[in-house]
Amino acid sequence: MWLTSIPLMLAFSGWFKVGDFILLHGLLAAGLYYLTPQALGRWQGEKPTSIRLALHAAWLGRASLAPVFWPFFLILNAVWLLIDYRATNGDFTIPSWDTAHFMLLLPFFAWLVAIWRCSPFCQHRIWSAAARWAGLAVVLDFLLRAYIRYAAPQWLFDCMLLSRIMYEC
């Protein structure tokens, strides 16, 4: 998360500096900590016996936070790292990059709802707030990636891959 989008935004746009970025996310984290309910401890209900039941329990908020949060978070970041690496090396075209992001959107929203609903089921309130902050940080990263794709694709993609009608390199 942010291994590509934030450095590109800091290097090529004058929107914000590093201190502004840190302040924004510090305020977001503090606000989320204040608004997050107290942690209730691990989920004490019955354990799901299959992946389908585990996903259903996560969607309904009937699961502990850690098994809901970590698998998709790690997969999402690994996929983003791979597609950004391939885009910077010229292996991915813009439509390929769009397709990879679009395929992550629906599972991302399901994951965001699941971590929001399961966030009380952890050991400490700080982990609930951190999971919610990470979910909102991924939303901001998706928005930054959309901006890079539509407003400044030359930051990430080779100029030869871009349409000469729309962009001059």
Residue pLDDT, tens place only, 98-134: 899 999 999 999 999 999 999 999 999 999 999 999 9
* pLDDT of res. 159: 63
Structure tokens at 169: 């390199």
80 is in which domain, residue-wise?
Answer: 1-7+50-169
149, 162 contact by CB (below 8 A): no
Residue pLDDT, tens place only, 150-161: 888 888 877 655
Nearest-angstrom CA–CA distance, 159 and 169: 6
30 lies in some domain: no
161 lies in some domain: yes
71 lies in some domain: yes
Residue pLDDT, tens place only, 49-100: 899 999 999 999 999 999 999 999 999 999 999 998 888 887 888 888 889 9
1 lies in some domain: yes
Q: What is the total count of domains within the chain?
A: 1
37 lies in some domain: no
25 lies in some domain: no
**Residue bearing tokens 């989008």:** 5
Taking each helix axis from N to C terminus, what angle separates 125-151 and 94-118, rounded to the nearest 10 degrees? 160
Could you tell me the CA-to-CA distances from 50 to 42, 108, 133 in Å, in that order?
A: 19, 21, 29
Rg (CA), the chain: 18
Checking if the pLDDT of 148 tops 90, the result is no
35 lies in some domain: no
